[in-house]
Chain A
Amino acid sequence: MPKFAIEVNGLRKRFGDQVVLNGIDLAVMPGTIFALLGPNGAGKTTLIHILSTLINPDVGSARVAGYDVVRDKNEVKKSISLTGQFAAVDEVLTGEENLLMMCKLSGLTTAESRIRTSELLIRFDLAAAAKKRVKTYSGGMRRRLDLAISLVVSRPVLFLDEPTTGLDTISRRALWDNIIQLKEQGITIFLTTQYLEEADQLADSIAVIDQGRVATAGTAVQLKSRLGGEVLELRNGHDELLLVVPTSGKIQDVMLTLNELAHSLPPDTQVSIRKPSMDDVFLALTSKEREESYA
C-alpha cells in the first residue's frame, strides 16, 4: 500500500462556465475514515466521480491506492467500490438477483457467488426480502442493498456518496456500524455528507469544502479547537437561539464578549457555555465566507 490511500493535488473541474472544484488538495491515510463535508452543490459528488474514474479533472492530479485516476483507470477500478449518491440498484431484479449479478461481474464463480450473496443478505438484514423485487423496497433497504453490493468483493478503497441522506435515525445508526466494521477490516472509506454529526461520529479526518475549495481540514477535535475553547450560546426567554459566539474560554475574553453583547440583547437573555460542536465549525466557516463575499 502506498503512503496515502487517496491523494489529491490541485484538482480543478468546471462544467461550462461554472467552476465546481477550484483547486482541491487532500490526503487520506490507509485504513481510515475520511469525511468530505459540504452543503448541497459544493462539488462533493463531482470529486467522487473524478476519484472513481467516471469523469476526468481539468487540471491537477489524483491517485487512488497509488494509481493515477486518469492514466491508470483500470487499476483504480480494481481497487475501489463506489456507492453513489442515488441507490444504484436494479429495481426490476430481486435483492438476491442484484447481489448474484454483482458477484459474477466481480469475478466470483457461481458457487462462490451464492455463498457470498447469502452472507451479505444476512449481514445487511435483507434475508427476508431477498426474493422480493427491489421496486418494493424501502429507502433504508435500498441503501443497505446498495452498500452490500459495494462489498461483494473486498477492495481497499470504498467511496460512499451521502450514504445516510434520507434515512431514519435507526437505519442511519445501523449503517454507521457497518461502516465502522469495514474500517476494522482495513478498508479506507471516503464518504461525503451534509451532516456534521455524521462526520463527527465516524471520521478520523474531515475536510469541509465550500465554493470549490477546502475551507478547512483536520480531525474533528482540531476543527473544533480552532474555534476556540468555549462557545457562548445565547437564548431569549422563549428558549429560542439568538446567537452563538466562539470565545477562547478565558475569563477576560468571556467577560468582554458578554459586556459588548449586553446592551443589544433583552434582559431575560439566557447564557450557556459549552464546547464547540461541528455545527459551530460549519457555521463559522460559511458565515465568514459570506461576510467576505459581501465585503
Chain B
Amino acid sequence: MNTPPSVRKPASFGMTNVVFIGRSIRHSLRNAEALIMAIMLPIMLMLLFTYVFGGAIDPGGNYVNYVVPGIILLCAGFGSSSTAVDVAQDMTNGIIDRFRTMPIRSLSVVTGHVVASLARNLVASIVVIGVALLVGFRPSANGIEWLAALGVIILFILTFTWLFAAIGLVTGSPSAASGYGFALLFLPYLSSAFVPTSTMPNWLQGFANHQPITPVIETIRGLLTGTPIQHQGWWAIGWCAVILIFSISWCFIAFRRNAGLR
C-alpha cells in the first residue's frame, strides 16, 4: 500500500483562497436555476421597465437612459443575496467542521463565495448594459468614466455580498438566510433608481435621499449619462466603505462565535 505524503507545510493563504474561489465558482456554474435567473432577470427587468413602465414614466422615450443604473443595482442586490444561502448551507453541512480542523484560514470559505458572487453579478451587469444598448440606451461616458462606473458597481456588489455573507453566517439556516436577504431587496425601490425622489411624498423623500442606494445610483448615472453627480460620489463611496467594513467585521465575529457553538 502507498504511504501518503506526510505534509509538513499546509496550504498558503493565497492557495487556500484560490481553492475556495474555484469551489464556489463551480457551485455557481452547476446551479442551473440560479444561473438562468442571473441572466434572465436583467433581460426581463430591462424590457419591463423600458417597454411597459417606461412610456408612462417618461413619454419622450428617454426612460431607458434613466433606469439602467437602477436595474444594475437591483440585479446585483438580488444576485448577491444568494450568498447568504450559500454561506448558510456550508455552515449547516459538516464540511465546515472539516475545514475548521485543518491548519488553514477557514474563513476563506466565505471569501470564495464572495468572489464567485462578484463574478456572477458582473456578468449580470454586463447583460443589463448589453440589453440596454439594444433597446436604445445611449451613454455619454468616455473610457475613464466607464472604468469609474465599473469600479462603483464592483464596490457595491462587494458591499452587499459581504453583508449577505454575514447574514448567512448568523441566521444559521439556508431558508432563514433567504428570508432576511429578501427584506434588503426593497431598498432600490425606495431610492432614485426608478423615479426621481422629488416625485415622492415628503416623508418618503427624507428616507430615499438619505439611504445608501440613492448616491450609488446617482453616481453611476452621472458617470454613464452625464447627469450632475456633485457630492453624491463621495456619499456613495462613504456608504459602501462603512457597510463593507461593518459586514466584514461582522463576518469575522460571527465565524468565530459559530465555532464555539457547534
CB pair A108–B7 under 8 Å, yes or no, is yes
What is the distance, in angstroms, from B35's C-beta to the closest C-beta of chain A? 13
User: A235 in the interface, Cβ–Cβ < 8 Å?
Assistant: no
Q: Is the CB of B23 within 8 A of A88?
A: no
Tell me, yes or no, whether A149 is within 8 Å of chain B by CB.
yes
One of B7, B16, B104, B262 near A153 (C-beta < 8 A) = B7
Task: Pick the residue among A53, A91, A93 that contacts B101 (CB under 8 A).
Answer: A53
Query: A106 with B100: in contact, given A84-B94, A154-B4 (CB under 8 Å)?
Result: no
What is the CA–CA distance of A108 and B19 in the complex, to the nearest angstrom? Answer: 12
B10 at the interface (CB under 8 A from A): yes
Contacts of A107 in B (CB 8 A): 7-11, 15
Contacts of B10 in A (CB 8 A): 78, 105-107
In the complex, B201 has a CB within 8 A of chain A: no
**A167 CB-CB contact with B under 8 Å:** no
Q: Which residues of A contact B16 (CB under 8 A)?
A: 105
Q: With A and B bound together, what is the CA distance between A105 and B7 in angstroms?
A: 11
Contact with B along A86-112 (1 / 0, CB 8 A): 111111110001000100111110001
- A46 to nearest B CB, angstroms? 10
Cα A82 to Cα B262 with chains together (Å) = 15
Q: Are B95 and A49 in contact (CB under 8 A)?
A: no
A154–B259 touching, CB < 8 Å = no
Question: A175: shortest Cβ distance to chain B, in Å?
Answer: 16
Which residues on the B side are within 8 Å of A112 (C-beta)?
Answer: 5
Which residue of the partner chain A has the closest CB to B108?
A: A105
Tell me if B103 and A84 are in contact (CB < 8 A): no
A82, B1: Cβ atoms closer than 8 Å: no
State whether A149 and B4 are in contact (beta carbons under 8 Å apart), knowing that A78-B10, A107-B11 are contacts in the complex.
no
Least CB distance from B10 to A in Å reads 5
Contact, CB under 8 Å: A104 / B259:
no
The residue of chain A having its C-beta at the shortest distance from the C-beta of B6 within the complex is: A154
Q: How many residues of B contact A (CB 8 A)?
A: 36
Contact A90 B2 (CB under 8 A): no
Is A234 an interface residue, CB under 8 A from the partner?
Answer: no
Interface residues on A, range: 35 or more
Query: Which A residue sits closest to B260, measured CB to CB?
Result: A55
Q: Can you name the residue of chain B whose Cβ is closest to the Cβ of A184?
A: B1
Closest to B262 in A: A54
Q: Is B27 on the interface with A (CB-CB < 8 A)?
A: yes
From A78, A82, A149, give the contact of B97 (CB < 8 A). A82
Task: Write out the residue numbers on chain A whose beta carbons fall within 8 Å of the beta carbon of B15.
Answer: 104-105, 107
B199 at the interface (CB under 8 A from A): no
Bound-state Cα–Cα, A66 to B224, Å: 62
- Cβ contacts A66-90/B at 8 Å (1 or 0 each): 0000000010011011101111111
For residue A116, CB closer than 8 A to chain B, the reply is yes
Inter-chain CA distance A112–B98, complex, in Å, is: 21
- CB-CB under 8 A from A55, the residues of chain B are 259-262
A90 in contact with B262 (CB, 8 Å)? no
Asked if A77 meets B103 with Cβ closer than 8 Å, knowing A107-B7, A154-B3, the reply is: yes
Q: Given A101-B19, A105-B19, verify A52-B101 contact (CB < 8 Å).
A: yes
Residue A165 at the chain B interface, CB threshold 8 Å: no
Indicate if B202 sits at the interface (CB-CB under 8 A).
Answer: no
B115 CB to nearest A CB, Å: 16
A56 at the interface (CB under 8 A from B): yes
Once the chains bind, are A88 and B262 in contact (CB under 8 Å)? no
A88-B1 in contact (CB<8A): no
Contacting residue for A92 out of B6, B26, B101, B103, CB 8 A: B26
Query: What's the nearest-Cβ distance from chain B to residue A16, in Å?
Result: 11
Q: Which residues of B sit under 8 angstroms from A104, Cβ to Cβ? A: 11, 15, 19
Beta-carbon nearest neighbor of B259 in chain A: A54
Question: Chain A: which residue is nearest B10 at the CB level?
Answer: A107
Binding site for B on A (CB under 8 A): 49, 52-56, 74, 77-78, 80-82, 84-93, 97, 101, 104-108, 112, 116, 119, 123, 133, 149, 151-154, 181, 185
Given A74-B103, A87-B94, A112-B5, output 16 extra A-B contacts at Cβ < 8 Å.
Answer: A52-B97, A84-B94, A86-B94, A89-B95, A92-B30, A104-B15, A105-B15, A105-B19, A106-B7, A107-B8, A108-B5, A151-B4, A154-B5, A154-B6, A181-B1, A185-B3
> What are 15 A-B interface contacts by the 8 Å CB criterion?
A52-B101, A53-B100, A54-B259, A77-B101, A77-B103, A86-B94, A87-B94, A92-B30, A105-B15, A105-B102, A106-B11, A107-B7, A107-B11, A149-B98, A153-B4
4 tightest A-B CB contacts, nearest first: A88-B94, A153-B7, A77-B103, A154-B4
